[in-house]
Amino acid sequence: MIGFGSIFFGAGDCDLLGVFDHTPVDFSYYPNPVTEILTIESQVEIRSVRVYNLLGQEIKNFYAIQNGEIALNDLMSGIYLVKATFEDGREETFKVVKK
């Protein structure tokens, strides 16, 4: 049995797809590990901070952040992911160890 192959050729213009330019925010956070208060410092205003467990479940959120400080004293010891959303819409996610 002889097989037949097919070749397909398509021609045309292709529009440019969107490219996300992720310029990281210059920020710092401390202490890590944290016992009570986590401080996030940035030149860009922080709009919100969300804290997730390692299962990806949101367990805390902060929308009114005073002096870049968020209280984590009520969390159990462990590892958490913290997502900070900045005024310009950029987001940064980082790992925090709670003592």
| 60's tokens | 């805390």
Supply the pLDDT for residue 29. 97
Sequential pLDDT tens for the chain (99 residues): 565 655 655 555 555 555 555 678 899 999 999 999 999 999 999 999 999 999 999 999 999 888 899 999 999 999 999 999 999 999 999 999 999
CATH number of 27-98: 2.60.40
Supply the pLDDT for residue 66. 86
Supply the pLDDT for residue 48. 96
Supply the pLDDT for residue 24. 80
CA-based nearest residue to 72, from 87, 52, 56: 52
Residue extents of the structural domains in the chain: 27-98
Q: Name 22's Cβ contacts closer than 8 Å, sequence gap at least 6.
A: 90
Q: Name 5's Cβ contacts closer than 8 Å, sequence gap at least 6.
A: none
